[in-house]
Amino acid sequence: MELNTNDVDIKLIALDMDGTLLNEKHLVSEANRRAIQEAQDLGVHVVLSTGRSLRTCKEHADSLRLTSYLVTVNGSEIWDEKRELVERNTVNSELVQWMWELTKKHQTKYWAISPQGNWFDEMPDDLHDKEWLKFCFNTRDDEIREKIMHALHTKGEFEITNSSPRNIEVNAAGINKEKGLGIVCKRLGISMGNVMSVGDSLNDLAMIKAAGLGIAMGNAQSIVKESADWITATNREDGVALAIRKWVLN
């Protein structure tokens, strides 16, 4: 059945960042900024639900004057409206070491996120003394990517997604944006049925499927579009603003 605006009661908007809220210059457009502010003025919670860490998303949250929670590192961390930590879910350092060795075997680029910092194509000497939130592989070689995916699935210890077709993002098993948003909703006293989730990649898929209204960007990966309730414009065309105006501000 075709959805219409009377079918949904949106109390929380969950926004992915890269490829969704942010344009190709990694900026928030003025149209997106205005729509978010108007939604907040109506009392709707606007939550960044991102693969980024707090360190690399806080500036955007502050500039948007967001007054609600943040779901970061694909749900590995949840922050309240005062930017105090609600929950943290880590990947065992032995597994991080194993994935690091996998990048050497296949000669791929990589990055890793810990509460202490973000690491790009290098790892700290004290790897086992740190907490780890996410490990990511990046390669243009489809065959190598498939081999890494097979190794990860065989290990059976991970939540495996991506934030672009070229990368693989690895979190602790069972940790994703849907779970993070579920915790936020429980704390706010609302249901996932009152959530509009907007995203473009596999790390958005769970929250798009679970939300009362799942929105795929016009530039989203095919499986995300197929799973969504509605497809908006691309991140270059203010797709977030279009979705908010149609489903929340209408």
Strand partners, 217: none
> How is residue 127 annotated by DSSP?
G
| Residue 24 to residue 105: CA distance in whole angstroms | 32
Helices 93-106, 142-155: axis angle to 10 degrees equals: 150
Would residue 142 show up in a list of annotated catalytic residues for this protein? Answer: no
- Which residue bears the tokens 């769970």? 206
Which SS3 state, helix, strand or coil, does residue 223 take?
helix
State whether the Cα torsion 201-207-209-215 is positive or negative.
negative
Out of 16, 18, 229, 238, pick the active-site residue: 16
Q: Are 199 and 225 in contact (CB under 8 A)?
A: no
Active site residues per annotation: 16
